[in-house]
Amino acid sequence: MADQNVLLSANAITKALVRIAHEISEHNDDTENVVVVGIQKGGVHVATRVAALLKQIWKHEVPHGMIDVSMHRDDLDQKLPSQVMPTNLPFDLDGKSIVLVDDVLFSGRTVRAALDALYHYGRPKRVQLAVLIDRGHRELPIKADFVGKNVPTSLKEHIDVRLSETHGEEVVYLVRK
């Protein structure tokens, strides 16, 4: 039986994303060369929202896309991906500042796979990482540049991000198993 607590309400999710967008804006002077890439599948809707917020701040379109990391994971020899999701990068990555976006940062292995995948499509000038939730327990030396909320967790806990685009509700839960 699982027990769950609300970590972020709909209002808190919005505030966290607005804060992330403003921090991205502060750290990127060349706004015309910033693109936002969401990691399939949890980071895609977060990335779309961040790109829309950056558009409001910068007053111009911010290209955004999505990348699947399934075939770049380091555990492919142990299990095949259950589903390969689409990659859509409708822009050139060469020389761009990429803001890589995910919903939850945990071990760092998904981000490592995303970096491998990105470099198959081009050579960015730099890559910055934005996450809605950083729950700790890193297995690789990966750190987010922009974080909505840091949530120290135990390994018996899980973060459940539920966005209106996919779940019909807007909330982040901490689930204890």
Tell me the pLDDT tens digit for each residue of 66-98.
999 988 766 655 665 667 889 999 999 999 999
**103 and 134 Cβ atoms separated by less than 8 Å:** no
72 Cβ contact list (under 8 Å, min separation 6): 113, 114, 116, 117
99 is written with which tokens? 């803001």
CA 45/CA 11 separation, integer angstroms: 16
pLDDT at residue 84, as a whole number: 81
For residues 126-151, average pLDDT: 97
- Which one, of 100, 102, 106, lies nearest residue 41 by Cα? 102
pLDDT at residue 80, as a whole number: 59
Q: How confident is the model at residue 177 (pLDDT cuts 50, 70, 90)?
A: confident
Tell me the pLDDT tens digit for each residue of 107-138.
999 999 999 999 999 999 999 999 999 999 99
Q: How confident is the model at residue 148 (pLDDT cuts 50, 70, 90)?
A: very high
For residues 14-21, average pLDDT: 98
Angstrom distances, CA of residue 158 to CA of 96, 119, 140, 173 = 34, 30, 19, 8
CATH number 1.10.8.420 is the correct assignment for the domain at 14-74+86-155: no
For residues 43-67, average pLDDT: 98
CA 131/CA 153 separation, integer angstroms: 16
Q: Which of 15-19, 51-55, 83-87, 152-156 has the lowest mean pLDDT?
A: 83-87
* Percentage of residues of the chain with pLDDT beyond 70: 94
